[in-house]
Amino acid sequence: MSFVNKRPGGRILPVRRLTPHIDPQKQFEKLATAIGEIYKHNASQLSFEELYRIGYNLVLNKNGPLVYDGVKGVLEAHLLDCVHNDILKYAEIASAMPTIPNNEDLLSNVRMLWSEHVTAMLMIKDVLMYVDKVYVKNAHLSPVYEMGMNVFRDKVLLASNNRINTGITRAIMRQIEYERRGDEINRNTLRSVIDMLIELQDTAQLRPIYETVLEPQIFLETTSFYRSVASTRMAKVGAPEYVRAAQSDIDAEMDRADAYMAAHTSTPLRDILLDELITKHDISILTIPNDGLVQMFDQRNMLDLAILYGLFSPLPSAMKALQNETRDHIIALGKQMAASLAIQTDERPQTGSEGSSSAQEQLGAAARTAMALRWIQELISIYDVYDEFVTKSFSGSSDMRNPLNDGFITIVNENPRAPELLSLYIDDNLKNGLKGKSEQDMEHTFERAILLFRFLKDKDAFEHYYKVHLAKRLLFGRCLSDDAEQSLVSKLKVECGSQFTLKLEGMFKDMQMSADMESSFKEIASTNGLGFDMHVSVLTPTFWPALATATPENPGANKDSQVSAEQDGLIGNATDMFSDFYTKHRSGRMLTWQYSMGNADLKVRFGSRIHELNVTTYQMLVLILFANDDDDIELTTTQIQTKAHIPDEILPRLLQSLACAKYKVLAKTPMSRNISPTDKFKLNTNFKSPQYRLRIPMVSARSNIETDKEKAETMATITQERQYVIEAVVVRIMKARKQMVHEQLVNETINQLSSRFMPTSQTIKEAIERLIDREYLQRSPDNPRLYSYLA
C-alpha cells in the first residue's frame, strides 16, 4: 500500500468562469444601429436591457473609449447629415425673406429637431448609464447627455460659420419685433427655441449661448426700438397719455419676458425701457405745455399720477425731477393764491380828519383780517388736496411728502406775517369756527393748524401773537371750548416742548385761580354793600406780556392807572375793595388795574324799553356819562374825553362802536362814521332791538391783523426777546462746555434755537460780545476765537 504525502498549509482554488470571447467592434455596431433607430422613432423595437448590457460589458472589458468616442461620432454624423442641412435650408429662406411664416418655419423646424435630439439623448443616456457611472467619471469627461448637447451646438448651431445660430437669432428678434408692433406669433415655439439656447453652453465664455448671443441682441434692439417710440410719442401726446402708453409698453415687455425669455432677462429689460421711455425724457414729460404735471394736478388726475409715480419712483434722476416740479408747482400755487387775496398789499395812509382815518383804518383792518383768515384756509385747502395726491397717487411715500412740505415751508415763510395770520386763524376758529363742527372736523382743523405751525421758522413770533389772542379770548369770555383750548396747547407742547407753552399754561392757571377767589370775594362784596357783581381776573405779568404793568417803556398802562384815580366812587370803591381783599391773602403783591381789558353788563333804558348791554369797561365809562334822568343830555367828543379820561387812540373807535356800528345806542350829530372833536352824542331813546341782551363789541377787543406800524413795534419786541434768549442759550452752552471756539459755539447755538427761530451768525456774535462785556465769558488772550466760561 502506498500513501500520497500532502504538504501542510495547502488550499483549494475556486474554479475560474470561462466567458466567451466578445468582439468590441461588433458590440458597438449594435449600439450605433440602435442610436440610429432611436432617431428614426423606432425605439419601441429595441431592447434597452440588451443595449445596457452591451455598454456594461464594453466598459467592463476596458472598451470605454470605444463606446464614448463612437457614440460621439455617430451623433456628429447624424446631426451633420440629417439636422444641420435641414435647418440651414430654412435659415437661408428666412434670411432672404424675413416674413412671419418664414421665421415661424425656421423656428418650428429647430424646435422639432431639437426636441427629437433631446428625446433621443435622454434614451441614449439611460442606455449608457454604466458608461457615465464608471468610464466617464474616471476619465473626467462630460456625461453622455451633456456631450450630446455639445455635439448639437458644434455641428448644428455653430457649423457653417455660425450661419444657423445667426439665422435663429435674427428670426427670434424679428418675431419679437412683430409682436411689439401688434402681430400674433407662436410664443410656444419661441419659448422652446430660447430654452435650447439657454441650455447650450458657449465654450469660449462658459455661459449659455442665450446670454452671450441672444440676450445682448434683445437688449440692443429693445433700446433702439423704444428710443424711436419715445421720440415719436413725445411729439404727439401729453403726459397722461404718454405715461399710460409707457406703462403699457413695460407691462407688455414683462409679459414677453415671462412668456419666453430667461427669468433674469426681465429686470435689465425693464431698466432699458425705463431709461429710454422715462429717464431720458423725465423733465420733458413733466413740462409738456398745457398737458404736463401741472395739468394733471389741476385736473385731479389721480390714476395717471399714480402711473407716473410708479414709473418715476425707481429712477433717482426722474424722481428728483418729479420732486422739484411738484415743489415748484406748490410754491407757485401759494404765490398765486396770495396775490389773488392781496394778502401783502401796502397800507396806504388815508387823508381827511382823524375820525375819518380811524374809520377807514377799521374797514381796512377788517378786510385785511378777513383775507388773512382766507389765506390760511386756502393754504390748508391746498395742502389737503396735495396730501390726497401723496396718499392716493404716490402711495404715501415720504419721497413725495417731503417736496409737498418743502413747498409749504417756502410759502409760509415767504410771508412775513405768517406767524400772526396763523394765530389769527386759530383765534377765529376757537371763538367762532367751532360752532356746528363735529369733533372730527375740529380735530382736523387743529391738526392742519399745527402742521402749518410746524412749517414756521419763527415759532417765537407765533408764540407772541398766540399769547395776545389767547389773552383776549380768556379775558373777554370768547373761549367756546376749554377742552379745545387745552388740546391745542397740548399739541404745541408736543411740537416744541414745555418751555414753549409755559406762559400759555400760566395764563390758564391765572384764570383758574381767579375763578377760585371769586366766591370768597362775593361774600365780602355783599357784606360791604358793593351793589353789583364784580369778577376780577388777577394776571401774572410774566404770563401776560401784552398786559405788562406801567413802565416808562409801556406808557399805555399809565393811562389805565390814571382812570382809577379820577373816576367817581363807582369804580374806585370796587377796585379798592378787591385790592384790600387780595392783599390780605397775597401779602407783598401789588395790583395794577388794566381797564382796557375789562367788560361790564349794564341795564339801560331807551325810552320805554330796557336792554342789558355787555360792553367794555371804557364803553361803560362813556355810557355812565349819560346816566341821568334827562335823556336829552348831549356831550361833544371833547367833553367825553375830558370827563371819562379815555386814551386818545381808543376814543374814536369807542364812540364808533356805540354810535355807528350795528347797535347805535348813542345818537350822533352829524350822522357819519367820522369822529371829530365837535361831534355831539346823546342817548338814542329811539333805539330798538328784538333781543333783550346785547353785546356791543369794541374794535380794540377784536383780533385784527396788525398795521405796518404795529407790525414794526411787534418785531422790535420780538427782536429784543430774542437777544435775551440767545444770551441765555450761549451761557447754558458755555456753562456745560467751559471752553469753545467761536465757530462751534455759533453752530451749537443755532442748533439749539432752530426749533424756535433761526438766529444769524451776526446776532450770535453780538450776544457773545455783550456777555464778554458783562463778564459771563472771557476771550482767550492767546486765541481770540476761543471763549471760556466765567463761573
In tens, the pLDDT along 127-160 reads 999 999 999 999 999 999 999 999 999 999 888 7
Domain end: 592, 607, 635, which one? 592
Is residue 408 in a domain?
yes
User: Which of 386-400, 556-570, 612-626 bottoms out in mean pLDDT, i.e. has the lowest?
Assistant: 556-570
- pLDDT score of 352 more than 50: no
pLDDT in tens, 582-618: 888 777 778 888 877 788 888 998 888 899 999 888 8
Provide the CATH number for the domain around residue 651: 3.30.230.130
Instruction: Count CB-CB contacts under 10 A for residue 531.
Output: 11
Query: Using the 8-state DSSP alphabet, how is residue 695 labeled?
Result: E
Compute the distance between CA of residue 386 and CA of residue 388 in angstroms, rounded to an integer.
5
Q: Same domain, yes or no, for 374 and 339?
A: yes
What is the rounded average pLDDT of the residues 661-674? 88
State whether 42 and 180 are in the same domain: yes
Closest by Cα among 83, 78, 69 to 128: 69
Residue 323: band (very low, low, confident or very high) from pLDDT cuts 50, 70, 90: very high
Q: Measure the CA angle with vertex 46, ends 41 and 47; round to 5°.
A: 150
Q: ∠188-76-129 over CA atoms, to 5°?
A: 80
pTM for the model stands at 0.79
Predicted pLDDT of residue 228: 96
Residue 548 has pLDDT above 60, yes or no: no
**Would residue 404 count as lying in a domain?**
yes
Query: 750 and 650 in one domain?
Result: no
The answer to whether 331 and 407 have CB atoms below 8 angstroms apart is yes
Cell of 146: 451633456
Residues 324 and 359 in one domain: yes
Q: How far apart are CA 781 and CA 107, in angstroms?
A: 90
b/e per residue, 164-174, with b = 16+ CB within 10 A?
bbebbbbbbbb
- State the burial class of residue 296 (Cβ atoms within 10 Å of its Cβ: 0-12, 13-18, 19+): buried
What's the pLDDT score for residue 214? 95
- Indicate the pLDDT class of residue 575, thresholds 50, 70 and 90: confident
Parallel/antiparallel/unpaired status of strands 739-741 and 693-695: unpaired
CB distance 294 to 285 below 8 Å: no
Element (H, E) at 33: helix 24-39
* CA dist list (Å): 577 to 102, 524, 525, 557, 584: 114, 9, 8, 21, 11
Helix (H, G, I), strand (E, B) or coil at 477: coil
**Per the domain annotation, does 434 fall within a domain?**
no
Q: Residue 337 class from Cβ within 10 Å (0-12 exposed, 13-18 middle, 19+ buried)? A: middle
* pLDDT for residue 552: 30
- For residue 62, being part of any structural domain is answered with yes
- Comparing 97-106, 435-444, 776-785, the range with the smallest average pLDDT is 435-444
Mapped onto helix, strand or coil, the DSSP state of residue 612 is strand
Please name the residues in contact with 494: beta carbons below 8 A apart, sequence gap of 6 or more: none
Return the axis-axis angle of helices 159-180 and 187-199, rounded to nearest 10°. 140
Supply the pLDDT for residue 21. Answer: 61
pLDDT band (50, 70, 90) for residue 67: very high
Range 359-367, long-range pairs (CB < 8 A, 24+ positions)? 359/652, 359/656, 359/660, 359/673, 359/674, 359/675, 361/707, 362/653, 362/656, 362/699, 365/699, 365/704, 365/705, 365/707, 366/704
- Distance (Å, rounded) from C-alpha 451 to C-alpha 765? 32
The count of other CB atoms within 10 Å of the CB of residue 495 is 15
Q: Are residues 609 and 674 in the same domain?
A: yes
DSSP character string of 126-172: HHTHHIIIIIIHHHT---HHHHHHHHHIIIIISHHHHHHHHHHHHHH
Q: Is the dihedral of CA 672, 676, 679, 684 positive or negative?
A: positive
Both 117 and 46 in a single domain? yes
Q: Where are the alpha helices (DSSP H) in 429-497?
A: 439-455, 459-475, 482-496
Shared domain check, 153 and 39? yes
pLDDT at 365: 65
Where is average pLDDT lowest: 357-371, 690-704, 719-733?
357-371
Please answer whether residues 724 and 682 qualify as being in contact, where contact means their C-beta atoms are separated by less than 8 angstroms.
Answer: no
Total domains in the fold of the chain: 6
CA-nearest of 494, 492, 522 to 507 is 492
Residue with grid cell 428625446, as numbered in its chain = 119
What distance in Å separates the CA atoms of residue 484 and residue 441, rounded to the nearest whole number? 12
Q: Name the most confidently modeled range: 403-417, 424-438, 621-635, 651-665.
A: 403-417
Residues ≥6 apart with Cβ < 8 Å to 475? 537, 597, 598
Residue 10: the pLDDT is 52
Q: Which amino acid is at 266?
A: S
**What distance lies between CA 277 and its chain's CA centroid?**
26
Kindly state whether residue 448 falls inside one of the protein's structural domains.
no
654 lies in the same domain as 717: no
What percent of the chain lies above the pLDDT cut of 70?
89
Residue whose C-alpha cell is 334827562: 630
- Predicted confidence at residue 53, as pLDDT, reads 94
Tell me which residue range forms the domain holding 722: 708-789
Same-domain pairing of 133 and 31: yes
Domain stops at, among 199, 218, 238: 199
535/584 same-domain check = yes
| Each residue's pLDDT tens digit, 497-544 | 888 899 999 999 999 988 888 888 888 877 777 777 888 888 888 888
| Confidence band for 662, pLDDT divided at 50, 70 and 90 | confident
Tell me the three cell numbers of residue 604.
Answer: 339801560
Examine the pLDDT at 184 and tell me if it is beyond 60.
yes
Query: Do 280 and 230 meet the contact criterion of CB atoms below 8 Å apart?
Result: yes
Dihedral angle over CA of 462, 464, 467, 470, nearest 10: -50
Cell digits for 8? 501542510
CB distance 189 to 111 below 8 Å: yes
Q: How far apart are CA 575 and CA 145, in angstroms?
A: 112
Spatial separation of the C-alpha atoms in residues 752 and 737, rounded to whole Å: 14
The answer as to whether 511 is a domain residue is no
- Decide: 447 and 431 in contact? Cβ < 8 Å: no
Give the pLDDT mean for 218-246.
96
Averaged confidence pLDDT in the chain: 86
Cite the beta strand spans of 485-638 per DSSP E: 599-606, 609-616, 634-636
For residue 398, what are the contacts with CB-CB under 8 A and spacing of at least 6? none
Residue 744 near residue 787, CB atoms below 8 Å:
no
Q: Name 349's Cβ contacts closer than 8 Å, sequence gap at least 6.
A: 357
Query: How far is Cα 240 from Cα 229, in angstroms, rounded to an integer?
Result: 16
- For residue 255, what is the domain's CATH number? 1.20.1310.10
pLDDT at position 4 over 70:
no
Residue 188 lies in a domain: yes
Say if residue 322 is in the same domain as residue 240: no
Cα dihedral across residues 147, 152, 155, 157: positive or negative: negative
The verdict on residue 368 lying in a domain is yes
Tell me: do 611 and 736 sit in the same domain. Answer: no
Given this model, what pLDDT does residue 97 score?
84
Q: CB-based contacts of 199: which residues, under 8 Å, 6+ apart?
A: 149, 208
Determine the average pLDDT of the residues in 267-272.
Answer: 97
